[in-house]
Amino acid sequence: MNTKSIQEILQNKSLFERLAIESFSSVDGDKSGEIDSSELEVIITQLATSMGSEPPNGEEIKEIMNDLDTDNSGKISFDEFKNLIKDVLASMLDDDI
């Protein structure tokens, strides 16, 4: 993804919302409207494997979950997930500068 596309996504609320909904839906395997630790582990393991990295262990998954679960519900809500997507895109943008 290039800098222009990232900026467009971050500036266009409807485009960002669509991206967030599609991404969330692909991670929310049971379609409960929340991401639990097992769903998070599946997606992080897939990402790590596709990048040639070692998958995180159970303790690392718990740490990631705690970082993302800002309301301490034990699950990642859509709003918490959107914050993650926004942070990831902003970080990608910063890396390109």
- Summarize pLDDT for 25-73 with one digit per residue, the tens: 999 999 999 999 999 999 989 888 888 889 889 999 999 999 999 999 9
Q: Would you say 16 and 6 are in contact if contact means Cβ atoms under 8 Å apart?
A: no
Domains in the chain (CATH in brackets) are 3-11+35-96 (1.10.238.10)
| Strand-pair partners of 30 | none
CA 9 vs CA 6, 85, 88, 94: distances in Å: 5, 11, 12, 14
Q: For residue 61, what are its two tokens?
A: 């998954």
Whole-number pLDDT of residue 96: 64
Phi, psi of 76 (to 5 degrees): -100, 120
